Structure 1
Amino acid sequence: MADSVSETENPAIPSPTPERTRPRTNQDWWPNQPNLQVLHHNAPQPTPLSPGFDYKEEFKALDVKALKRDVFEVMTSSQDWWPADYGHYGPLFIRM
């Protein structure tokens, strides 16, 4: 049997020459992107809180029951401009 040069085993159809490809990147789809590297600089101060800030004491001062009521009210108050699923925004928050 003669050796065939075609991967299709049909001498009438030549094999395609494989081209070198690479995965597409955002630069391929949007070549005119602005350089956003300037936004990656770290802040000079790692935390905006003062050195004497006591997180534990501030948390004790928080009215957790009022916070829970407020969050529940926000999640169950359906808005005309974005109706809640079955009267509750919880499923939307999960999908987000």
Structure 2
Amino acid sequence: MAGAQMVNSHPNVKKYLGFALLPQGGVSIGLLTIVAVQMTQLYPIIAAVIMLSVLVYETMGPVFAKYSLTKSDELYGLDKLNESMFEEDTEN
């Protein structure tokens, strides 16, 4: 992903970020309302494709998001950060 590359993210984050972004059905449905106004003749075909993709991505998206967060070692990232901060406090 270009954004992860620009901010120099960890290689695992760059590798698995795409899967985490799959469950974004609300954005697609929002864009579909624009299509309904601007492209009335193509609307039925585009609506069918978008609604089917929303169904698939919203069903499978959380599975892919968990997979990407687990594989990129970010699922428990905040817990690890808190643990390391706690360890630093006890050492001093």
Q: Please confirm whether the aligned pair reaches a TM-score higher than 0.5, indicating the same fold.
A: no
Higher relative contact order (CA 8 A, sep 6+): 2
Scaled by the length of structure 2, the TM-score of the pair is 0.25
Scaled by the length of structure 1, the TM-score of the pair is 0.24
Structure with bigger gyration radius: 1
